[in-house]
Amino acid sequence: MKLLEERIRKDGVVKEGNILKVDSFLNHQMDIDLFNAMGEEFRRLFEGRPINKILTIEASGIGIAVIVAQHFHVPVVFAKKAQSVNLDGEMYTTKIESFTHKRTYDVIVSKKFLSKEDHILVIDDFLANGCAVNGLIDLIQSAGATIEGVGIAVEKGFQTGGKLLRDKGIRVESLAIIESMDAATGEIVFRDQG
Ligand code: 5GP
């Protein structure tokens, strides 16, 4: 998606350790007009899929997911990072290793909000090694729900997450895929998606 690529070039900052900072428009301050255009694009890409719910993870997936959901007219559920898991049987739980924070979280979704009737679109801001998305898929599978696809704002194509998911037959649509980036020069190369 050209609009997102241009914005990353203009305002994204490449940090050491393969981190792209996009906090001026994507995951701290949020550009809602950009999110709206992203929602329109996801709607077009997933046209015809019987999506009845969007699943994301707190915190930075929520803003994007909420605006995207306005284009699908479906509710958003976000997986919560829990301090301690209360094993009362009312939650689906999984563990997710955080790429940016280098720690592991227990993540939960109430069984009330995910069921085998659901057809889920997963939305997140970044796809790197795929830990976050794989955790969400684990929750969806625990509920017996159907994964209709995964919609990502920025995929770092030089990390393994996207390939692993696509190899499993999961449809992944990323609006910008970064092939390489260089913290020293600030150069960012995007994959040509046609
Ligand atoms: P993964 O679980 O795919 O390894 O990493 C995805 C998660 O880590 C995303 O939810 C995102 O919050 C965070 N993340 C991964 N790479 C980056 C990055 O380059 N920049 C930022 N801002 N967040 C990232």
The closest-lying atom of ligand 1 relative to the alpha carbon of residue 61 is 10
Nearest CA to ligand 1 atom 9: 126
> What distance in angstroms lies between residue 100's CA and the mean position of ligand 1's atoms?
6
Rounded-to-integer distance, Cα 55 and Cα 61, Å = 9
Long-range contacts of 44-47 (CB under 8 A, 24+ apart): 45/151, 45/173, 46/72, 46/121, 46/148, 46/149, 46/151, 46/173
**Ligand 1 atom at shortest distance from the alpha carbon of 130:** 3
The finding on whether 78 has its CB within 6 A of some atom of ligand 1 is no
Q: pLDDT tens digits, the chain, 194 residues: what are they?
A: 999 999 999 999 999 999 999 999 999 999 999 999 999 999 999 999 999 999 999 999 999 999 999 999 999 999 999 877 666 779 999 999 887 777 899 999 999 999 999 999 999 999 999 999 999 999 999 999 999 999 999 999 999 999 999 999 999 999 999 999 999 999 999 999 97
Closest CA to 100 of 11, 164, 148, 28: 28
Query: Residue ranges per domain, the chain?
Result: 2-184
pLDDT of residue 85: 67
* Ligand 1 centroid, distance to 23 Cα (angstroms): 12
pLDDT of residue 123: 98
C-alpha span between 107 and 17 (Å, rounded)? 25
What does residue 5 show for φ and ψ, rounded to 5 degrees? Answer: -60, -45
pTM of the complete model:
0.97
Query: What confidence score (pLDDT) does residue 103 get?
Result: 87
Locus of tokens 């990390």: 159
Could you tell me the fold of the domain covering 2-184? Rossmann fold (3.40.50)
Residue nearest (by alpha carbon) to ligand 1 atom 19: 19
- Distance, CA 126 to ligand 1 centroid (Å)? 5
Neighbours of 17 (CB within 10 A): 8
Tokens 């649509």 label which residue? Answer: 173
What are the DSSP calls for 138-166, one per residue? HHHHHHT-EEEEEEEEEEETTSSHHHHHH
| DSSP 8-state assignment for residue 111 | G
Q: Is 56 in the pocket of ligand 1 (CB under 6 A)?
A: no
For residue 122, which amino acid is it?
A: V
pLDDT, position 54: 98
User: Nearest residue CA, atom 22 of ligand 1?
Assistant: 21
Contact 155 CB / ligand 1 (< 6 Å): no
